[in-house]
Structure 1
């Protein structure tokens, strides 16, 4: 099938089509539907052979519409198939016919009839780039029906067939909306790997346009759901920061409060790293935290090099946090996050101890952390493995050593630095003594 733009029209049948259409419509209304269709088909052949795109498009649209108005849904499917397979059928005409037939879907008398027409139209549009947008919309309708029927897996599979990012006829907003629907269905299907792959097709630069705020919020809420499946708290915090920075959220106090609470919750839940440490200080500097004093105080505990008592944390923050979706007491996820928060408190305390002590007895360490020796060793080992702190445990002596050994080069560098510092101090002292002697001599002469 050649591109319609490359075809040269031999003759225009506009006048003949204008004359025939009212006649055919009257014939169909009077019960002579087949006669009307036959006359239209006769003229359609002539317009198609003459490459009259506009006239052919009008005829195909009227043909399927007359079948629909007659209430014969089987005939609609038959004629859509028949007309699309005509030899040398024009692309624009097929597109117009498919577009017309799609308007019938909302008026289908039953779901079964609607599905039959969707299947027919999807078969007609398969592999045809000039109706790729229509096929995408039909596929989305089909996925919605399957989801409503409770078959989420089938809905996700159907929608996953299309690579809309390659469709040139769809605008950027519609493509993004379609991809977000693919992500949502994959998450509902619990296919988190595929959801992550599909999410990379979305260009976040597109969300800088203020008119795309709704899509931006949908995307980042989906990404939060994906991140929390793997307990990727730091990613969840960063996604909520994107939500928080959205103008529509900033303008609504209830929304920005919720987003900021989630940011604080997930940044303190995230494992310690350079990125996490930088992010927690950025969050702590937000002026709006003043309106959330409890969360500001919680952040202050984690950004101050002081020990925290878990019992005190529970006493001050437990009741409030357990009512939030993040730490809700009645959900398995909330229970696990409270356990993770306890772990982060312990890890913070261990980092603080490692900064203030080079050596400490295991017994004293258990007292500071309010843990058993086995628990202290477990958490300390985890931090050593992650290279957050350096520590060695001497079990027979009951000593924990936090001072990392230095190799010869490091010791020499340290000694050299100390000698330089000493020499500078001696030189400065000598200069001051000489200055005082000179002042004393001048005073004595005077």
Structure 2
């Protein structure tokens, strides 16, 4: 090791003869009798001291497919990628780092692995390769990785924000809302986040409200936010809107834009699209409320209660979508222009049993999460 350190000092630091250094490294790697640990340390010294991009690029071929140098290979790729990013050549940076298969690297520590994966996701987003972002994101399992406090504080926010960029591009409102909810403080004291981002809470509520109605998905999450998120009290207008949306009261503003509360992503760059979607969800909410109190209603009267004009909104199409989606149980009598609400034939039947079973499973899983947290806490304490 002393000999290798001297070689590094002579060729890299004193004379900066990097080509000679690479030739020496190539010769040493071919000599199978050399100590692998010493060679690995020597390679690490070279990577740390050399900043010449051409020399670093030539090292890729020397280190490639050398199992005992796989950790150094990852560090080399990471350094080259950083150099290309600093130069503004994102495409070359992506071409270099995308070839790195971290799943086959056993000696890499989690910190470096996550750093490289996050970098891969960032480059994909900047280049518009959103499908690749999803592929790289699958290599990070949040429940397993972010249970470590240092990794959680360092990478969790970056990971989720990069995913939100992808979902926002495809207008997947439910996934944006659920991803943002992971960044919010929960009811469990151990789940408290270090900081409260007002825009994240606004976006979370907005996207869950304008996503497709489902009692077990967005509505369940909205009720959970209403009951357990104390930060909503700091945003009275948002809390009022959420309370009304989850109630059985009609929402009939003179202008739908009165309800708009802009966040970082919601009602911002895609303002008109989000307003149109909010308007649709408000109409659906009002129809669900009306179905509670009416057995049948004339479509003209329904339009008046919904505060809409028949020329502006295709009410029949909305009703058909709600009936097909099991949001309401009704029949449309076109000749008479009537909407007849009918009783749910599955009420108290198999659907109700499935709903109870789903709720019980959800309760069981939440209890298991608590137990898992307590066991981990005990293990850490005894260690």
TM-score by length of 1: 0.69
Structure 2 CA distance for aligned equivalents of residues 405 and 118 of structure 1: 69
Does the residue aligned with 1:400 lie in a helix, a strand or coil?
strand
After superposition, residues 176-325 of structure 1 pair within 5 angstroms as 176-204=114-142, 205-212=144-151, 213-245=153-185, 250-252=193-195, 255-274=196-215, 275-285=217-227, 286-315=229-258, 317-318=259-260, 321-322=261-262, 324-325=263-264
Change (3 A) 1:249 1:222: farther
Structure 1 segments unaligned to the other structure (5+ residues): 1-56, 109-113, 411-446
After superposition, residues 6-17 of structure 1 pair within 5 angstroms as none
How many residue pairs align between the two structures?
Answer: 337
Structure 2 segments unaligned to the other structure (5+ residues): 350-383
After superposition, residues 72-221 of structure 1 pair within 5 angstroms as 72-86=17-31, 88-105=33-50, 108=51, 114-204=52-142, 205-212=144-151, 213-221=153-161
2:66 aligned with 1:66, yes or no?
no
Structure 2 CA distance for aligned equivalents of residues 288 and 99 of structure 1: 48
After superposition, residues 9-48 of structure 1 pair within 5 angstroms as none
Change (3 A) 1:406 1:66: closer
Question: Is the contact between residue 98 and residue 121 of structure 1 (CA under 8 Å) also seen in structure 2?
Answer: no
Tell me what 2:353 maps to.
Answer: none
Tell me what 2:366 maps to.
Answer: none
Report the CA distance between 1:404 and its aligned residue. Answer: 5.5
Tell me what 2:369 maps to.
Answer: none
Query: Which of 1 and 2 has greater Rg?
Result: 1
Structure 1 CA distance for aligned equivalents of residues 32 and 197 of structure 2: 60
Structure 1 CA distance for aligned equivalents of residues 181 and 70 of structure 2: 36
Structure 2 CA distance for aligned equivalents of residues 122 and 92 of structure 1: 19
Tell me what 2:356 maps to.
Answer: none
Question: Is the contact between residue 270 and residue 276 of structure 1 (CA under 8 Å) also seen in structure 2?
Answer: yes
2:308 aligned with 1:371, yes or no?
yes
Report the CA distance between 1:338 and its aligned residue. Answer: 2.1
Does the residue aligned with 2:182 lie in a helix, a strand or coil?
helix
Change (3 A) 1:334 1:78: farther
2:347 aligned with 1:347, yes or no?
no
Question: Is the contact between residue 329 and residue 344 of structure 2 (CA under 8 Å) also seen in structure 1?
Answer: no
Does the residue aligned with 2:254 lie in a helix, a strand or coil?
helix
Greater shift after overlay, 75-84 or 289-298?
75-84
Task: State the structure with bigger RCO (CA 8 A, min sep 6), 1 or 2.
Answer: 2
Change (3 A) 1:250 1:258: farther
Change (3 A) 1:248 1:287: closer
Structure 1 CA distance for aligned equivalents of residues 92 and 292 of structure 2: 55
Question: Is the contact between residue 307 and residue 349 of structure 1 (CA under 8 Å) also seen in structure 2?
Answer: yes
Question: Is the contact between residue 226 and residue 242 of structure 2 (CA under 8 Å) also seen in structure 1?
Answer: yes
Change (3 A) 1:378 1:147: farther
Does the residue aligned with 1:401 lie in a helix, a strand or coil?
strand
Question: Is the contact between residue 265 and residue 326 of structure 1 (CA under 8 Å) also seen in structure 2?
Answer: no
TM-score by length of 2: 0.79
Does the residue aligned with 2:231 lie in a helix, a strand or coil?
helix
Structure 1 CA distance for aligned equivalents of residues 223 and 31 of structure 2: 68
Change (3 A) 1:154 1:298: same
